[in-house]
Copies of this chain bind each other. A is one copy, B any other.
Amino acid sequence: MTDYMEIALEEARLAASRGEVPVGAVLVDSTSGDIIARSGNCTEELNDPTAHAEILVIREAGEIRHNPRLENCDLYVTLEPCPMCATAISFARIRRLHFGAYDPKSGGVDHGPKIFDQPTCHHKPEVIGGHRETDAADLLKSFFVARR
Contacts and interface: CB of A to CB of B under 8 A. Distances in A.
A92 B48 CA distance: 8
A32 interface: no
Nearest to A92: B49
A113 interface: yes
Interface string A56-83: 0011001101111110000000000011
Copies of this polypeptide in the complex: 2
Interface in A91-140: 91-92, 105-108, 111-115, 118-122
Contact of A58 (B49, B82, B83, B92): B49
Interface in A41-61: 43-44, 46-51, 55, 58-59
A40 to B, nearest CB: 15
A28 to B, nearest CB: 17
Contact of A106 (B47, B84, B120): B120
A14 interface: no
A35 interface: no
A55 to B, nearest CB: 6
